[in-house]
Structure formats: C-alpha cells, structure tokens
Amino acid sequence: MKTALLLIDLQNDFCPGGALGVAEGEATIAVANQAIEACLSRNEIVVASQDWHPANHRSFAINSNAEVGTLGELEGLQQVWWPIHCVQETFGAELHPQLQRQHIAAVFRKGENPDIDSYSAFFDNGHRAQTALHGWLKEHGVTHLAIMGLATDYCVKFSVLDALHLGYQTQVIIDGCRGVNLQPQDSQQALAQMQQSGAELVTLSQFIRR
C-alpha cells in the first residue's frame, strides 16, 4: 500500500476575508502543515487541488443572472450560484501563504471549463472530463488517500466520493475540513455521507499516529 495526502482547495478565497470565505477556513492550514510533516517523515506523497476559474465561469451568480447562494441549473445539473471566486491568476486563487507548499509534489487545477462546475479534484460535476489526478496517483502507485480541506460540503465531499468510486481506501481528516454550510447541518451531513459511502473519518492526531 502507498498513501498520499490530498489537500483540497486551501486557497485565499475560501478563508475569512476571501470571496467565498468559509468560517474558520484558515484553521485548516496549521492542520495541513502538521499532516504534511507526518507525510514527510513517512515518505508519503502530498498533492493538492486548486479551484481555478476563468472570469466568465457560469457558476458565478453574476454570469448567470442569478442571486448568490440560490439554486439553479447548469448543464442539466443542479447548481448553487456562487460569488466570483478563485479567478485564475488572482490572489484569491493562490494557495494560502502559510501552507508549506514546497512539500506538495503536484497541484491539480479544476473548474477551468466555464460551462460546468467542478467540485471534485477528479472529475467535473457531470463526470464528463477528468483532471490528471487519478492518472498521476496510479502512476505513483498510490492506493490509499487521506483527504482534507475546503469546503467540507462541496469540494471535499465530492472528491472523497469520487476517490471511493475509483477504488482508493480513503480517510478524511475531519479537523482539517471546514464547510460553507448554506444550511447549518450541511457539513455534518456531508461527513456522514462520506462515512456511509466507505470513508474512514479520522482526526489529525489519529492520522499522525498511524
């Protein structure tokens, strides 16, 4: 077996003060750095995803004549309309400055197609196209994933569900996740769904002691 740590969207725009700031989002950075440290000492790989939208992305409410935080439809899929966030080459799209990114072996960008949203680090929301992540992990012999990041109820959840479908043994480092919570229970429900689908929920200290 070979394990990789997958860090989801630890970007400025998902931290407080950012365009789509998640409550306590910045608290995930210290968790990520400790998880990275543990991986280094065990010779495990660290990879990351990065939400990377063109300015004309249709998930942005303003580009779809919709109101932020309401529901609509995009490409036949249910869509939450988001504020403008993680626009390519902007500060908001950069990985958080405190993240020890020199230890990240590869960063996989997603959400570049303006016509479809892309929560998972593996596939777009319609499972039409995939990122290079799965191929890269296969090439490196990775069989087990530990996943954490932002946001619990969107990109973490869909990445974990795809990882399970792709056959990875998957842990979620729960204290390394924070959610959008359009509804107050969304993150809790997302974690329960990941667990029911076969993910193991662990704390950072359990991950470090493994």
Name the DSSP class of 188.
Answer: H
108 binds, among Zn ion, ligand VGL, none (CB under 5 to 8 A by kind): none
The span from the CA of 67 to the CA of 83, in Å, is: 9
Interactions with ligand VGL, residue window 35-54 (CB under 6 A): 51
Q: Which of 5, 9, 123, 162 binds ligand VGL (CB under 6 A)?
A: 9
Token pair of 91 as six digits: 């500060």
Token pair of 16 as six digits: 């407080």
Q: Taking CB positions, which residue lies at the least distance from Zn ion?
A: 51
Q: CB 82 → Zn ion: shortest distance, Å? A: 6
The residues near 185 (Cβ < 8 Å, ≥ 6 apart) are: none
| 55 phi and psi angles, rounded to 5 deg | -65, -20
- By the rule CB under 6 A, 150 interacts with ligand VGL: yes
- By the rule CB under 6 A, 154 interacts with ligand VGL: yes
Question: Other CB atoms closer than 10 Å to residue 112's CB: what's the count?
Answer: 16
Name the strand (E) or helix (H) holding 106.
Answer: strand 106-110
- By the rule CB under 6 A, 7 interacts with ligand VGL: no
151 binds, among Zn ion, ligand VGL, none (CB under 5 to 8 A by kind): ligand VGL
Q: Which of 151, 163, 174, 191 binds ligand VGL (CB under 6 A)?
A: 151
Q: Which of 26, 51, 153, 162 binds Zn ion (CB under 5 A)?
A: 51
- Under 8 Å between Cβ of 129 and 72: no
Question: Other CB atoms closer than 10 Å to residue 85's CB: what's the count?
Answer: 23
Q: Which of 137, 142, 155, 174 binds ligand VGL (CB under 6 A)?
A: 155
Which residues form the interface with Zn ion (CB under 5 A)? 51
Which residues form the interface with ligand VGL (CB under 6 A)? 9, 14, 51, 82, 119, 150-151, 154-155
